[in-house]
Amino acid sequence: MDRLFIENLRIRAILGVYEWERHTPQDVLVSVSLFLDTRRAARADDLPGSVNYAELAEEIRALVERARRRTVEALAEDIARLCLGRPGVRKVTVSVRKPQAIAEADSAGVEIERRKPRTAKA
């Protein structure tokens, strides 16, 4: 399986459980890896058979900006569902990080991996 990825997509969003986080947008870094077969796109040298990562990035941005989730875990699940909805995507890894979460750390967050059920069409 091939891997198509977007790394560290920076999005301003409401995300968190603390009162100030519910009112003040903060930077969120989103990375996704989509696993699919890209041979058709490679043979045709065209996007059909793959995923347009520019379009996907905009969909992720719109989702994160409107989600207003309390936890990075819930937001990661939302993003995983979005990615798995793309034709041909069989598995996705999603990382959601908050750079300002811990003063002494570069970031804190979560990384999840989700697959389409075997019965689902790819």
Q: Count structural domains, the chain.
A: 1
DSSP-assigned states of every residue in 57-87: HHHHHHHHHHH--S-HHHHHHHHHHHHHTST
pLDDT score for 120: 55
pLDDT score for 48: 82
122 domain-assigned: no
Could you tell me the CATH number of the domain that includes residue 32?
3.30.1130.10
121 domain-assigned: no
pLDDT score for 118: 79
Here the tokens at position 23 are 């009112």
77 domain-assigned: yes
pLDDT < 50 stretches in the chain: none
The pLDDT tens digits for 6-38 are 999 999 999 999 999 999 999 999 999 999 999
Domain span holding position 63? 2-115
11 domain-assigned: yes
Q: Show which residues are catalytic.
A: 98
